[in-house]
Structure 1
Amino acid sequence: MSTDFVNLTTENLDHEHLCCIIRSKKLHEGIESKRQWLSDRLKEGHVFRKLNAKATVFIEYAPLESAWVPVIGDNYYYLYCLWVSGSYKGKGYGKSLMEYCLADAKEKGKSGICMLGAKKQKSWLSDQSFAKKFGFEVVDSTDNGYELLALSFDGTAPRFAQNAKTLKIESKELTIYYDMQCPYVYQNVETIKQYCETNDVPASFIQVDTLQKAKELPCVFNNWGVFYKGNFETVNLLLDVAYLKRILKK
């Protein structure tokens, strides 16, 4: 297993590849949006650590106070994403990245680390069974099955903001909240917009572009949240046309 890892910084961000997009050979306009989002977040203590190879092997986390999620807590890290794919699976890279995050949290005197999970593993959420091997436990939940997992060092626990448990909005049309934390967001928004315009589906796309907006969202959020007929549907970023049609049939 290679131990050659790189942490993105404001100095190397422009020329380092974003390995969360490396699986695709197509050009993604979302890459530059992600770089811009990161350039602002890195100054806030956001960490993006990746294997120094053309591979999808990375971890991304941030101080909870500045993490763009409706989760409340003091002195925690929020783990956005831990991903290892392809031939790199099963070689200890995930363990190495998680141990780095744990060591970083302890070195900085953090109270613990938390992440979004669910009673049943959801696509585009980090593997919660893997996290539980390190001691992560469920500390809060929503009525629709999403859970907040945390590894506490001092007995404290973060929680979902109360607004994250609302799971309803006034608008009945398809409504998608998104930010540019993931480079796949841009292309997904464009794909869904095109489908809705072609098929006369009323839709609203609300960009979450400030920390305050993220903390006040009416649903759990990792960079994406979908509502239809006023009800929360999913954080699944893999909202392709087939998935969208199933939602619209409700």
Structure 2
Amino acid sequence: MENFSMDFLNLTPENLASEHLCCIIRSKKLHPGVEAKRKWLSERLKEGHVFRKLNAKATVFIEYAPLETAWVPIIGDNYEYLYCLWVLGSYKGKGYGRALMEYCLADAKQKGKSGVCMLGAAKQKAWLSDQSFAKKFGFEIVDTTNSGYNLLALSFDGTTPRFAQNAKTLKIQSEDLTIYYDMQCPYIYQKIETIKQYCETNNVSASFIQVDTLQKAKELPCVFNNWAVFYKGKFETVNLLDVESLKRILRK
């Protein structure tokens, strides 16, 4: 492969304001979800969070952070947590995903980390990174929940992370539709607006709980990558909802 096409860059406090964020491509107009993500990232970059992307207007990026400061109810010593690895459209099949994963693993080793972990599921979820791809690099399931979610890890030293005990609770007191979310994903802002509108129009009782601190994220009663849905007190999914998937949950 010709190297000129592998032009990646990492977001930094210096370039964060000027670089586009890959997930939602916009030209001139500010997008509230993208701006919320930018604000969230500005705090995370100080904590060792890495956002590496193709230097192009494309959805080709990887995002990972030290597990200790990753906004997920997963615990372990000296691991990196992989939030997101995404290659879309005409950029697929050109080795970008492999290059990004290899960078993450090499970076973790160079930093003396014990390994890299990520959230997976018994059945691949639309809003989680492709676990079959990760398994090609040696990621293995190291913990599971009763809701069909897995913790995958590639360990460099034989140690493994695990879900926090509270992440296996899978129940809350409220019977209402309840969505926990943070601003890590640019799509979240518009999904919340869409669901709020649907619930108001159709008289559905709903709670939207913003996870706005690391402590809240670590104490969540379910697995979480940036979003989690409960209905009738039971955990449903980490997938961001559109109206059709919301209707399916409400029919239960």
Q: TM-score range by the shorter chain?
A: over 0.9
How many equivalent residue pairs?
249
Task: Give the aligned partner of residue 60 of structure 1.
Answer: 63
Q: Is 1:241 aligned to residue 243 of structure 2?
A: yes
Q: Say which of 121, 136, 155 aligns to 2:139.
A: 136
Q: What's the CA shift for 1:27?
A: 5.5
Q: Is 1:48 aligned to residue 51 of structure 2?
A: yes
**Which digits, 9 at most, give the CA deviation of each residue in 1:60-98, with x for residues without a partner?**
000000000000000000000000011110000000000
Map 1:100-139 onto structure 2 (within 5 A): 100-139=103-142
Q: Is 1:81 aligned to residue 95 of structure 2?
A: no
Task: Give the aligned partner of residue 231 of structure 2.
Answer: 228
Q: Where does structure 2 lack aligned partners over 5 or more consecutive residues?
A: none
Task: Give the aligned partner of residue 20 of structure 1.
Answer: 23
Q: Contact (CA 8 Å) 1:117, 1:146: kept in 2 or not? A: yes
For the residue of structure 2 that corresponds to 1:176, the secondary structure is strand
Task: Give the aligned partner of residue 183 of structure 1.
Answer: 186
Task: Give the aligned partner of residue 41 of structure 2.
Answer: 38
Q: Contact (CA 8 Å) 1:28, 1:187: kept in 2 or not? A: no
For the residue of structure 2 that corresponds to 1:213, the secondary structure is helix
For the residue of structure 2 that corresponds to 1:43, the secondary structure is helix
TM score, norm. by length of structure 1: 0.97
1:173–1:26 CA distance, 2 compared to 1 (3 A): farther
For the residue of structure 2 that corresponds to 1:36, the secondary structure is helix
Task: Give the aligned partner of residue 200 of structure 2.
Answer: 197
Residue identity matched to 2:36:
S
Task: Give the aligned partner of residue 155 of structure 1.
Answer: 158
Q: Contact (CA 8 Å) 1:228, 1:247: kept in 2 or not? A: yes
User: Which moved further from structure 2: 20-29 or 63-72?
Assistant: 20-29
TM score, norm. by length of structure 2: 0.97
- The CA distance in 1 between the partners of 2:162 and 2:156, in whole Å, is 16
**Which digits, 9 at most, give the CA deviation of each residue in 1:93-118, with x for residues without a partner?**
00000000011000000000000001
- The CA distance in 2 between the partners of 1:148 and 1:24, in whole Å, is 37
For the residue of structure 2 that corresponds to 1:69, the secondary structure is coil
Q: What's the CA shift for 1:28?
A: 2.8
- The CA distance in 2 between the partners of 1:25 and 1:15, in whole Å, is 12
Q: What's the CA shift for 1:23?
A: 8.2
Q: Contact (CA 8 Å) 1:6, 1:52: kept in 2 or not? A: yes
Q: CA RMSD for the aligned pairs?
A: 1.3
Q: Where does structure 1 lack aligned partners over 5 or more consecutive residues?
A: none
- The CA distance in 1 between the partners of 2:225 and 2:28, in whole Å, is 25
1:70–1:172 CA distance, 2 compared to 1 (3 A): same
- The CA distance in 1 between the partners of 2:25 and 2:65, in whole Å, is 22
User: What is the percent sequence identity of the aligned residues?
Assistant: 84
Q: Which runs of 4+ in 1 moved over 3 A?
A: 23-27
Q: Contact (CA 8 Å) 1:74, 1:158: kept in 2 or not? A: yes
1:157–1:29 CA distance, 2 compared to 1 (3 A): same
Q: What's the CA shift for 1:26?
A: 8.0
Residue identity matched to 1:51:
L
